[in-house]
Amino acid sequence: MKSVKRIIFYLSTLFLLLSIPNYAQTIKFTKKTGFRTSEVIYKISKDGNVTNLFIQIGTQKSYHRIDSDNQTVFWRIVDSSKDFDMSITREGDRYHLCGVTKGKSVDKYESGRGLPWYQNLAYICGRTVSPGEVVRYECFRPGEFSLVTMEARTVKCHDLDGICVRATPVGVKKKLWHADYYYSPEDGSLTGYKSVEGGPGTPVTTWKRK
C-alpha cells in the first residue's frame, strides 16, 4: 500500500513539474535550521497580469498563481514525505480544497473570511505592507490546511539585510509565534526570512538570499 502511495506522489510531482510554465527568473536562498543547511528555490514568471510562482523546499514543491492585486487565486502543494498533495482554488468568497492529505481524499468547500488571500507572504510582502500599516489577511496552514487569519506589519529588525515585515496570528496567539520576512527597499523582493518552524526547543530557521 505504501509503495502505491509513493508511486501516486511521484506521478503527481511529475505532473506538477510538467504542467508549470517556463520560468523567467530563479531566486535561490540558503536555508539554515540549527546545524542543517539546505536550499530554497523560487521560480517566477508572468502570464499577463498573473504571476506564476513555483517553490521547492526539500521534498516539498508548491505552485502559486497570484493576481495583479497580489492575492493568491490558486495554490497546489505536494510533499511525498508528509503524505499530502492538495490544491486550493478561490471561487468568489469561498475556497475549493481538493486532493489527498494524511492518506485521505479531500474534496470540500470552505467559506472565506472576507480578507485577502496571501498564501505566500514572503513573495509579496514588499509590495503589500507599507511602514506603519497593519495588514490583515488569511492563509492556509500547510499540512493541516486549516484557514487562519494573520496580521503583518513592519518592525525594527537587524538580524538580516532589508526591511523587516513581521507576520503573526491574530489575538493572543501573536505572542506565541511570529515570522520575519526581509525585503529589499529597492525592488520589494525577498532577501531573507527568520522563524521557528516547530514547537518549543526547535532551532530557529533562517533563509538568506544567495
Give the pLDDT confidence of 54-72 residue by residue, as tens digits. 999 999 999 999 999 999 9
Count other Cβ atoms within 10 Å, centred on residue 161.
Answer: 13
pLDDT the model gives residue 172: 83
pLDDT at 106 (0 to 100): 94
Considering the entire predicted model, what is its pTM?
Answer: 0.86
Domain count, the chain: 1
Query: What percent of the chain clears pLDDT 70, i.e. is strictly above it?
Result: 89
- The CA-based diameter of the chain, rounded to the nearest angstrom, is 53
Q: What is the mean pLDDT of residues 157-183?
A: 88
Q: From CA 28, how far away is CA 9, in angstroms rounded?
A: 25
- CA pair distance 62, 98, nearest whole angstrom: 15
Confidence of residue 81 (pLDDT cuts 50, 70, 90): confident
Give mean pLDDT, residues 126-137: 92
Alpha-carbon span 178 to 69, nearest angstrom: 24
Phi–psi pair at 100, nearest 5 degrees: -130, 135
| Whole-number pLDDT of residue 160 | 77
CB atoms within 10 A of CB 160: 17
What are the tens digits of pLDDT across the range 109-129? 999 999 999 999 999 999 999
- Cβ–Cβ < 8 Å for 96, 156: no
The label of the residue with cell 505552485 reads 63
The Cβ of residue 21 has, within 10 Å, a number of other Cβ atoms equal to 12
* Contact yes or no for 168/148 (Cβ under 8 A): no
Q: Is the pLDDT of residue 17 over 60?
A: no
Please give the residue range of the domain that contains residue 37: 2-209
- Are 97 and 149 a contacting pair, CB within 8 Å? no
C-alpha to C-alpha distances, 53 to 11, 79, 172, nearest whole angstrom:
20, 17, 32
Cβ atoms of 9 and 187 within 8 Å: the answer is no
Q: How far apart are the first and last CA of the chain?
A: 41
How many of the other CB atoms lie within 10 Å of CB of 101?
A: 19
Take residue 183 and report the three cell numbers written for it.
Answer: 525585503
Report how far residue 112's alpha carbon sits from residue 47's, in angstroms, rounded to the nearest whole number. Answer: 26
